[in-house]
Amino acid sequence: MTTPHPTAQSSTYPATHSPATQPPTSQPSAPQTPARQFAALRRSFGSEWIKLWTVRSTWWALSAAVVLMTGVAAIMGGDFAGDVEKGEVTDGTSMGIAEPAADAAMLAQFGLIAFAMLAVTGEFGTGAIRGTLCADPRRGRVLLAKTLAVSAVVVPLAFVLALLGLVAGDVTLGEYGTGGTTVEDVAATTVYLVLAAVFTVGVGALLRNSVGTLSAVIVLLLALPITLGADRSAYLPGGAGLNLLGGEDPPYSRLTAAVLFALWTVAAQLAGYASLRRRDV
Give me the pLDDT at residue 9, please: 45
pLDDT tops 50 at residue 182:
yes
pLDDT tops 60 at residue 28:
no
pTM score of the predicted model: 0.85
Domain-wise residue ranges, the chain: 37-278
pLDDT in tens, 62-92: 999 999 999 999 999 989 888 888 877 767 7
How high is the mean pLDDT of the chain?
86
Cα separation, 281 vs 36, in Å, equals 26
One-letter amino acid of 243: N
pLDDT in tens, 228-281: 987 888 999 999 999 999 867 788 889 999 999 999 999 999 999 999 988 876
Question: What DSSP character marks residue 12?
Answer: T
Cα separation, 262 vs 258, in Å, equals 6
For the chain, where are the E strands, in sequence order?
95-96, 177-178
96 forms beta bridges with 178
